[in-house]
Chains A and B, each alone.
Chain A
Amino acid sequence: MTAEIQRNEAPGGALGWVDSRLHLGPFIAALLHVRIPADAKTFYLGGITLFLFGIQVVTGTLLALYYSPTPEAAYESVLSITSDVQFGWLIRSMHHWAANLMLVSLVLHLLRIFAQAAYKYPREITWIVGGGLLLITIGFGFTGYLLPWDQRAYWATVVGTEIAGDVPLIGSSLLLLLRGGAEVGEATLARFFGIHVLVLPLLLGGLVALHLLFVHQQGLANPKRAEPRPGRVTAPQPPEKLKPFFPDYILDEVIAWYAVLAGLVILASLFPAGLEPKADPLVTPEHIKPEWYFLAVYQLLKLVPETVGVVAPVALIGIIVLLPLLDRNQEIRPRRRPIAIFLALVLLVAMAVLTYFGGQV
Chain B
Amino acid sequence: MRTLRTFRPLLLPGLLALGSLFAATIVTAGRPADGPGTGSWTLTVGQATPTPEVPLESAPPLPTPIAHPGDASSTGCVDCHSKVDSKQAAIADDWRASIHAKEGVGCADCHGGDPTSDEITVGMAEARGFQGVPGRDETVGLCGSCHANADRMRPYQVATDQYSKYFSSVHGQRLLIANDDRVAICSDCHGAHGVKPASDPTADVYPLNVPALCASCHADATKMQAYGIPTDQYDVYKLSVHGTQLLEEQDLRAPTCASCHGSHAAKPPRSDEVVQVCGQCHTATQALYEESAHARLEGVGPKCWTCHGTHDVSEPDESLFLHEGGVPDYLCATCHSPTDQSLRLEMDRFEDPADRRCDTCHHERSLIYSQVEAIAGAIGGARDAYDTALHRIDDAAALGMIVTDADVAAQEARTELIKARAAVHTTKLTTISELTDAALAKSAAALDLASSKLAESDFRRQAMVIVIALIALNVLVLIWLRRRLHATN
Q: B402 is contacted by which of A79, A248, A258 (Cβ under 8 Å)?
A: A79
* A258 & B471 in contact (Cβ 8 Å cutoff): yes
CB-CB under 8 A for A265 and B471, given A270-B461, A274-B402: yes
Interfacial residues of chain B within 424-471, with CB under 8 A of chain A in the complex: 460-461, 463-464, 467-468, 471
CB-CB under 8 A for A265 and B464, given A248-B485, A251-B478, A254-B478: yes
Q: B400 is contacted by which of A83, A259, A271 (Cβ under 8 Å)?
A: A271
* B482 & A262 in contact (Cβ 8 Å cutoff): no
Interface string of B115-159 (1 = CB under 8 A from A): 000000000000000000000000000000000000000000000
* B482 & A251 in contact (Cβ 8 Å cutoff): yes
Interface: B475 (CB within 8 A): yes
**A252 nearest in chain B by CB position:** B482
Whole-angstrom distance between the Cβ of B30 and the nearest chain A Cβ: 52
* A262 & B402 in contact (Cβ 8 Å cutoff): no
* Docked pose: A235 CA to B401 CA in angstroms: 63
Interface: B479 (CB within 8 A): yes
Interfacial residues of chain A within 270-295, with CB under 8 A of chain B in the complex: 270-272, 274-275
Interface: B474 (CB within 8 A): yes
CB-CB under 8 A from B460, the residues of chain A are 89-90, 269, 272
CB-CB under 8 A for A255 and B400, given A262-B471, A270-B461: no
CB-CB under 8 A from A275, the residues of chain B are 402, 404
Interfacial residues of chain B within 391-428, with CB under 8 A of chain A in the complex: 400-402, 404-405
* B481 & A251 in contact (Cβ 8 Å cutoff): yes
Interface: A261 (CB within 8 A): yes
Interface: B26 (CB within 8 A): no
- The interface on chain B, measured as residues whose beta carbon lies within 8 A of the other chain's beta carbons, has a size of 20
CB-CB under 8 A for A270 and B464, given A255-B475, A255-B478: yes
Interface: A82 (CB within 8 A): yes
**A278 nearest in chain B by CB position:** B404
CB-CB under 8 A from B461, the residues of chain A are 269-270
**A244 nearest in chain B by CB position:** B489
* Docked pose: A90 CA to B460 CA in angstroms: 9
Interface: B472 (CB within 8 A): yes
Q: B475 is contacted by which of A90, A248, A259, A270 (Cβ under 8 Å)?
A: A259
A-B contact count (CB 8 A): 54
* Docked pose: A271 CA to B482 CA in angstroms: 33
Whole-angstrom distance between the Cβ of A267 and the nearest chain B Cβ: 10
CB-CB under 8 A from B405, the residues of chain A are 83
* A261 & B478 in contact (Cβ 8 Å cutoff): no
* Docked pose: A247 CA to B405 CA in angstroms: 51
**B486 nearest in chain A by CB position:** A248
**B464 nearest in chain A by CB position:** A269
* Docked pose: A265 CA to B481 CA in angstroms: 24
Whole-angstrom distance between the Cβ of B47 and the nearest chain A Cβ: 44
Q: How large is the interface on A (under 10, 10 to 19, 20 to 34, 35 or more residues)?
A: 20 to 34
Whole-angstrom distance between the Cβ of B314 and the nearest chain A Cβ: 26
* B467 & A265 in contact (Cβ 8 Å cutoff): yes
**B469 nearest in chain A by CB position:** A262
* Docked pose: A270 CA to B402 CA in angstroms: 13
Interface: A266 (CB within 8 A): yes
* Docked pose: A286 CA to B464 CA in angstroms: 35
* A247 & B485 in contact (Cβ 8 Å cutoff): yes
* B485 & A270 in contact (Cβ 8 Å cutoff): no
Interface string of A70-97 (1 = CB under 8 A from B): 0000000001001100000110000000
CB-CB under 8 A from A252, the residues of chain B are 482
CB-CB under 8 A from A269, the residues of chain B are 460-461, 463-464
CB-CB under 8 A from A262, the residues of chain B are 467-468, 471-472
Interfacial residues of chain A within 199-258, with CB under 8 A of chain B in the complex: 247-248, 251-252, 254-255, 258
* Docked pose: A262 CA to B473 CA in angstroms: 12
**B481 nearest in chain A by CB position:** A251
* B404 & A265 in contact (Cβ 8 Å cutoff): no
CB-CB under 8 A from A261, the residues of chain B are 471
* B468 & A272 in contact (Cβ 8 Å cutoff): no
CB-CB under 8 A from B402, the residues of chain A are 79, 82-83, 89, 272, 274-275
* B404 & A270 in contact (Cβ 8 Å cutoff): no
Q: A266 is contacted by which of B404, B468, B475, B485 (Cβ under 8 Å)?
A: B468
* Docked pose: A270 CA to B467 CA in angstroms: 13
CB-CB under 8 A from B482, the residues of chain A are 248, 251-252, 255
CB-CB under 8 A from B474, the residues of chain A are 258
* Docked pose: A261 CA to B405 CA in angstroms: 31
* A272 & B400 in contact (Cβ 8 Å cutoff): yes
**B468 nearest in chain A by CB position:** A262
* Docked pose: A82 CA to B474 CA in angstroms: 29
* Docked pose: A192 CA to B404 CA in angstroms: 26
CB-CB under 8 A from B472, the residues of chain A are 262
**B479 nearest in chain A by CB position:** A255
Interfacial residues of chain A within 161-200, with CB under 8 A of chain B in the complex: none
CB-CB under 8 A from B467, the residues of chain A are 262, 265
CB-CB under 8 A from A271, the residues of chain B are 400
**A78 nearest in chain B by CB position:** B402
* Docked pose: A196 CA to B402 CA in angstroms: 25
* Docked pose: A265 CA to B485 CA in angstroms: 29
* Docked pose: A77 CA to B298 CA in angstroms: 56
CB-CB under 8 A from A90, the residues of chain B are 460
Interface string of B374-401 (1 = CB under 8 A from A): 0000000000000000000000000011
CB-CB under 8 A from B475, the residues of chain A are 255, 258-259
* Docked pose: A90 CA to B400 CA in angstroms: 12
CB-CB under 8 A from A254, the residues of chain B are 478
Instruction: Identify which of A266, A269, A270 gathers the most chain B CB atoms within 10 Å of its CB.
Output: A269
* B401 & A272 in contact (Cβ 8 Å cutoff): yes
Whole-angstrom distance between the Cβ of B128 and the nearest chain A Cβ: 58
Whole-angstrom distance between the Cβ of B448 and the nearest chain A Cβ: 15
Whole-angstrom distance between the Cβ of B320 and the nearest chain A Cβ: 32
* Docked pose: A275 CA to B467 CA in angstroms: 25
* Docked pose: A83 CA to B463 CA in angstroms: 17
CB-CB under 8 A from A266, the residues of chain B are 464, 468
Known: A255-B479, A255-B482, A269-B464. 20 other contacts (CB 8 A): A79-B404, A82-B402, A83-B404, A83-B405, A89-B460, A251-B478, A252-B482, A254-B478, A255-B475, A262-B467, A265-B467, A265-B471, A266-B464, A269-B463, A270-B400, A270-B464, A271-B400, A272-B400, A272-B460, A274-B400
Show 16 residue pairs from A and B whose CB-CB distance is below 8 angstroms, ordered by the A residue: A79-B402, A83-B405, A248-B482, A251-B481, A251-B482, A252-B482, A254-B478, A255-B478, A255-B479, A255-B482, A258-B474, A262-B471, A266-B468, A269-B464, A270-B461, A272-B400
Which 10 A-B residue pairs are closest in the complex by CB-CB distance?
A269-B464, A272-B400, A262-B471, A269-B460, A258-B475, A251-B482, A265-B467, A255-B478, A275-B402, A82-B402
